[in-house]
Structure 1
């Protein structure tokens, strides 16, 4: 699907409820939002770490670190990975936005990492508050934009969907399997990749690579399985997700992020024409 189709469906769904973002970006002279740099290139003071088997806020073994202007995920302090899945949450929740992430996989997988986690990470969307995650919880209840790298030979789609504790609607039906592949090409090697996500509250989410939609779905909501050791009070099945926290994963393979930026679309959600215009401008950059 080409970008010109991105908001045709989304704009028809704007009647659905959506909470306002708690932070608004500045705009340029044309009224287009400027990006909020979630990663400032210096530190992760605006983020909260949650790693399985550790308390909220404990950055075990300095898993998440900033070096050379990059946000790095590393495992040199681990003896074994031991399913210590990690998630780094930005401290402000958002609802309507475009998220742009530039990343690359590097080096070798941590000892003890599962085969499926090789060159595997993700941007978690509409996630639960990290402070509500329990010590042994493996993943936040969220919608995952799965980031995957190729082995140089085999095909492996990128920017897939995974659903820890959530479901979505695809083709007018509730989609309950854990993951769904996108239509993307395979991204081999250590080159930088730009992944974009258009998130419009509880109406529609689109995954974009190389200026094309590779996956889209509707009505993100709490439900299903694929998340363990959570607080039952946080999992209200059937509840639509109209906002939440953005996380970056650590699943045993080293990864670098050089840009994590967000365009806040909340000020435009009531004006369909303006929302469409702004999204097109943002995605054209």
Structure 2
């Protein structure tokens, strides 16, 4: 723990002495050059991605929840004939990452299953530092992971920022202490449901994490670790509270709200 506090102090000192309002980021923690951008999605099919949907085995893309159309990954519920039934889903990229910079664009659709929980309306996200999809049990609702939460306006004139942090089965340090909240709001503006939004996630292992929206840093926190609640039905051997999350898998979320993802890119830092 002493090492963590010292590391956090050093990183915070460096980071807050720099400008982070734009997405142009250099790797100030390593001498090695930043790697080239990699396209995570081939624009044609879901090759390299694995679905895991609650109540279903890993690899079962129930009712074609995740699909590709016009070079975009869609979360679509057209084939759900029996209602949502809490089928929270995630589409995982094929390899884990530790320190990385990921960018994508997203937009919600006007499709929402009314039997889904009310909080899922115009709500989705991207999970990172997640447990491997093959370790997620059939009756596990959420992967142990950290989430870049995507939200859009629910009621006209009522603030609902995007780029928030949510923490199923995890904890983070925010403003100098472990924050007990499941979700921490960002400073982003509120967007209409049909706006395309540019999202970025910059992660330095188990140290500093930045969320960016349309090029501006809207949230920074540190020391992601296993802990907290919300996730249920997991293998107890996986959830070791207090264990640092140094790396993990990236997953696109489905939770009853239609959403589109495009231009997904990543580079290792």
Same fold (TM over 0.5): yes
The answer to whether the 8 Å contact 2:34/2:268 transfers is no
Q: What residue in structure 2 maps to residue 238 of structure 1?
A: 242
Q: What residue in structure 2 maps to residue 42 of structure 1?
A: 44
Task: Supply the distance in 1 between the matched residues of 2:181 and 2:78 (Cα, whole angstroms).
Answer: 34
Describe the shift of the 1:42–1:2 C-alpha distance in structure 2 as closer, same or farther (beyond 3 A): farther
SS in 1 for 2:200: strand
The answer to whether the 8 Å contact 2:198/2:215 transfers is no
- Give, in angstroms, the shift of residue 2 of structure 1: 11
Q: Given the alignment of the two structures, is residue 4 of structure 1 paired with residue 4 of structure 2, yes or no?
A: no
Q: What residue in structure 2 maps to residue 181 of structure 1?
A: 185
1:62 counterpart (56, 61, 64): 64
Q: Let me know the Cα RMSD of the aligned residues.
A: 2.2
- Measured against aligned partners, the alpha-carbon deviations of 1:53-79 in whole angstroms (never above 9, x if no partner) come to 000000000000011111000111112
- Measured against aligned partners, the alpha-carbon deviations of 1:213-255 in whole angstroms (never above 9, x if no partner) come to 1111110000011100000011011000010000000010100
Q: What residue in structure 2 maps to residue 76 of structure 1?
A: 78
Q: Given the alignment of the two structures, is residue 92 of structure 1 paired with residue 95 of structure 2, yes or no?
A: yes
Task: Supply the distance in 2 between the matched residues of 1:64 and 1:220 (Cα, whole angstroms).
Answer: 28
SS in 2 for 1:154: coil
TM-score, structure 2 normalization? 0.87
Q: What residue in structure 2 maps to residue 19 of structure 1?
A: none
Q: What residue in structure 2 maps to residue 205 of structure 1?
A: 209
Map 1:105-144 onto structure 2 (within 5 A): 105-144=108-147
Map 1:267-278 onto structure 2 (within 5 A): none
The answer to whether the 8 Å contact 1:2/1:213 transfers is no
Which of the pair is proportionally richer in helix?
1
Q: What residue in structure 2 maps to residue 225 of structure 1?
A: 229
Structure 1: segments with no counterpart, 5+ residues = 16-26, 266-285
- Give, in angstroms, the shift of residue 34 of structure 1: 2.6
Task: Supply the distance in 1 between the matched residues of 2:60 and 2:36 (Cα, whole angstroms).
Answer: 32
The answer to whether the 8 Å contact 1:3/1:213 transfers is no
The answer to whether the 8 Å contact 1:123/1:248 transfers is yes
Task: Supply the distance in 2 between the matched residues of 1:48 and 1:176 (Cα, whole angstroms).
Answer: 31
Q: What residue in structure 1 maps to residue 11 of structure 2?
A: none
Pairs aligned (count): 248
SS in 2 for 1:66: strand
Task: Supply the distance in 2 between the matched residues of 1:197 and 1:113 (Cα, whole angstroms).
Answer: 27
TM-score, structure 1 normalization? 0.82
Q: Given the alignment of the two structures, is residue 145 of structure 1 paired with residue 160 of structure 2, yes or no?
A: no
The answer to whether the 8 Å contact 2:122/2:193 transfers is no
Task: Supply the distance in 2 between the matched residues of 1:215 and 1:129 (Cα, whole angstroms).
Answer: 26
